[in-house]
Structure 1
Amino acid sequence: MPSGYFRWGWRLFFFLPFCVCAHNPDTSYCRITITGEEVQCSFTYDLNTLRLITRIDTNGDRAISQKELENATPAIEHFIRQYIYFDLNQREAEFGDLDPPVWPEDAGEDIPEADYGQRLITFTFHNPVLDLPEDVAITFDFFEELGGTHTILGAFIVNGREDEVIFTRFEPDYLYDTGYIMPLGEQIRQYFILGVKHIFLGYDHIAFLLVLMFVKRFVDLLKIITAFTVAHTITLALAVLKLVQISPQLVEVGIAVTIIYVAAENLWKRDPHHRWMLTFGFGLIHGFGFANVLRALGLPSAGLARSLVSFNLGVEAGQVVIVGALWPLLWLISRRSWAARFRLFVSGAILLFGVAWFIERVFSVRILPI
């Protein structure tokens, strides 16, 4: 009987990362800048998303060059004009002229397939106006093409004020009143939701939390989670405020290393002491990973601290839910005769994923089908 539980538990946790990744939606970005002279609409997508729109890698070398992106731009422009609706003063409008797409500065001549999910390309349209519009509306109708779980992190900017909006298939449109000031509570809610979504969709962060939780005492778990929270809060703030800048690729490699180390430690230590100290150091690295999300969205200059705190509270709320759901299960398993073997197998599986992520992020190769 115990061996049956063991096999079931092993299969569940081994395939958990695949399940999470299979439902990890692409995220794109939309920034609408409104003035009395023009309405500027910028749409930012990673290359994995753009590949759903049209074929870009025409020579099949599993890399995208700047020339290939240039050749694919008319099809991408057509897609945007067809599936994103734009209204000014409650009248249908057309997107204006399109700037050439912005190629990432540090990307080199070609972007390898392993980096498609990390490299962002921005398409900016300029729509001239004679006066500041009273309202601007935008509707996204591409969820059947890009996937029902696709999320758009949007921002409307007018007169130095920036209001954030999250678009999904359930909330695909928004009418923005340029004279309306979004209530404080709504701004806080938007960033809180963003933080919750990020921790739930960040499968590497979830894997890290899981291997951290193999401790015998609940008080040790509290120390670990507290250390992780304090640490990533520090670096999240430093990175978003641009006091410390680290390459996103280096951060992603560092996150993989933290997963590898803790998972490996679980293999040779039955009850690691002082893990909270180690977690604090590793949490500093994960904080930079959280900051990359906010940098891509672009935090408002007004209310920066408020948005930062709201996002971080969302991350903590998601973290509490994950730990609260997993700890009782792990505690029950720890009382079984096969608990040690379960710990070894789960840690070993996550160790393998950590090694795969490390290789992918260092050498820009694709190993996992995610």
Structure 2
Amino acid sequence: MMGRLLLFFALLCGAVLPAQAHKPSDSYLSLEVQGERIAGQWDIALRDLDFAIGLDQDGDGKLTWDEIRARHAAIAAYALERLSIATDKGACLIDTDEQLIDDHTDGAYSVLRFHVTCPSPLASLTVNYRLFADLDPQHKGLLRLVHDGVTSTAIFDPAHARQSLSLSSPDRLQQFGAYVKDGVWHIWIGYDHILFLLSLLLPAVMLGARGTPSASLRESFIDVLKVVTAFTLAHSLTLTLASLSLIALPSRWVESAIAASVVLAALNNVYPLFRGRRPLAAFVFGLIHGFGFASVLIDLGLPQGALLTSLFGFNLGVEIGQLCIVAAFLPLAFALRGTWFYRRLLTGGSVAIALVAVVWLVERAFDLKLIGA
């Protein structure tokens, strides 16, 4: 009976989690104010556009340049119907210029270049962003706005689709808060990061000092603190280095390594691979997870000043989201540690996590889709 439950759990996780285990759906909107005219560029993932309007004409699962070029008009129409820009004096007119393709850290993107003509004077802009709002409630639009050499940012989602941005005095506190919130959300929907962390935390309430079978609450807290601190230091380091473009790794390598880290962390609960060195494992693998976090900021292409503010806010949000998970986990795990359910969860649940992560690893390493999204 237990084996059937574990198999069901693994299949359920495999059906639900892989679709959201990769980098979340983002688009990158850049607006540069040039007098009464605005030069714009909008980078939208081809995989998202294919899902929305169908780019793969022959259904072979691969996108060619001819297929994308044939849908240029449809791409521009679909995107610009879901973007409006206005000033205090009225609506702005948006016209397309050209369409290209560019590679981001998580794949190929359609690059839509356009220009915006607005009634003068330009003191503020009201942007209404509705891309994929009806298809993906988790989609976010990351805006970079440049005016007189000053860069400001904003993050759009279905709950914050309409925002007013001052050109003369950008609200830095609001921008910082937006990236804190995005960091929290990024860790909460990053199931691979969560499963890695939980796999390392599951044994924390089981083994106390000198190998006793049950840890005290203090011992469990210290063990959790060591693991979380190691993971935090590591991913904060590589998040910073990658966001500042000091180190760059191919996205497929990073995503595959993250999946492999989940496999190893889970299997450690079945067979002791790390042998009491879980904090060290958290640090080593946390270095890889930091590169995964950094993809959001790398693709936005912010200048140094704006990047540092966004980087600090995003990293703070990741830590807040992580601490919320730990705060929910530790009391519950400690309360259940002596039960049959928790012992089965430690081993059987870890096996199920490892199976799900193996699917992720194969999908990412070989660019396959084993389970439909």
Specify the TM-score bucket, using the shorter chain as the normaliser.
0.7 to 0.9
Secondary structure class of the residue paired with 1:120: strand
Letter in 2 for 1:42: Q
Farther off after superposition, 27-36 or 205-214: 27-36
Distance in structure 2 (CA, Å) of the matches to 1:103 and 1:181: 29
Secondary structure class of the residue paired with 2:84: strand
Farther off after superposition, 96-105 or 282-291: 96-105
Shift of 1:52: 3.5
Whether the aligned pair in 2 keeps the contact of 1:52 and 1:145 (CA below 8 Å) is: no
Count of aligned residue pairs for this structure pair:
356
Farther off after superposition, 22-31 or 148-157: 22-31
Please tell me whether residue 154 in structure 1 is matched to residue 143 in structure 2: yes
Secondary structure class of the residue paired with 1:95: strand
Secondary structure class of the residue paired with 1:165: strand
Please tell me whether residue 301 in structure 1 is matched to residue 304 in structure 2: yes
Farther off after superposition, 267-276 or 152-161: 267-276
Give the aligned partner of residue 202 of structure 1.
Answer: 190
Please tell me whether residue 343 in structure 1 is matched to residue 346 in structure 2: yes
Distance 1:331 1:89, change over 3 A: same
Distance 1:214 1:61, change over 3 A: same
Distance 1:281 1:118, change over 3 A: same
Farther off after superposition, 276-285 or 299-308: 299-308
Farther off after superposition, 351-360 or 303-312: 303-312
Whether the aligned pair in 1 keeps the contact of 2:15 and 2:371 (CA below 8 Å) is: no
Give 2:160's match in structure 1, choosing from 168, 171, 188.
171
Question: What is the 5 A alignment of 1:1-370?
Answer: 15=12, 18-19=15-16, 26-36=25-35, 38-104=37-103, 118-127=107-116, 133-143=122-132, 145-182=134-171, 184-215=172-203, 216=206, 217-269=220-272, 272-370=275-373
Distance in structure 2 (CA, Å) of the matches to 1:143 and 1:61: 24
Q: Percent identity?
A: 29
Distance 1:103 1:71, change over 3 A: farther
Whether the aligned pair in 2 keeps the contact of 1:23 and 1:149 (CA below 8 Å) is: no
Distance in structure 1 (CA, Å) of the matches to 2:10 and 2:362: 22
| Structure 1: runs of 5 or more not aligned | 107-116
Report Cα offsets for 1:245-276 as digits up to 9, x if no partner: 11111111111111111111111139941210
Whether the aligned pair in 1 keeps the contact of 2:92 and 2:117 (CA below 8 Å) is: no
Distance in structure 1 (CA, Å) of the matches to 2:36 and 2:319: 42
Secondary structure class of the residue paired with 2:232: helix
Whether the aligned pair in 1 keeps the contact of 2:44 and 2:111 (CA below 8 Å) is: yes
Shift of 1:315: 0.2
Distance in structure 2 (CA, Å) of the matches to 1:233 and 1:360: 27
Letter in 1 for 2:308: A
Shift of 1:93: 2.1
Distance in structure 1 (CA, Å) of the matches to 2:185 and 2:200: 21
RMSD: 2.8
Report Cα offsets for 1:153-179 as digits up to 9, x if no partner: 222111222212121222211222221
Farther off after superposition, 302-311 or 157-166: 302-311
Distance in structure 2 (CA, Å) of the matches to 1:27 and 1:242: 20
Shift of 1:213: 0.9
Whether the aligned pair in 2 keeps the contact of 1:38 and 1:127 (CA below 8 Å) is: yes
Report Cα offsets for 1:2-32 as digits up to 9, x if no partner: x89x987986686457556667863222221
Report Cα offsets for 1:279-309 as digits up to 9, x if no partner: 1111001011111111122334224333211
Task: Calculate the TM-score normalised by the size of structure 2.
Answer: 0.86
Shift of 1:37: 6.5
Letter in 1 for 2:90: R
Shift of 1:228: 0.2
Secondary structure class of the residue paired with 1:119: strand
Letter in 1 for 2:162: D
Distance in structure 2 (CA, Å) of the matches to 1:46 and 1:225: 33
Secondary structure class of the residue paired with 1:85: strand
Distance 1:331 1:17, change over 3 A: farther
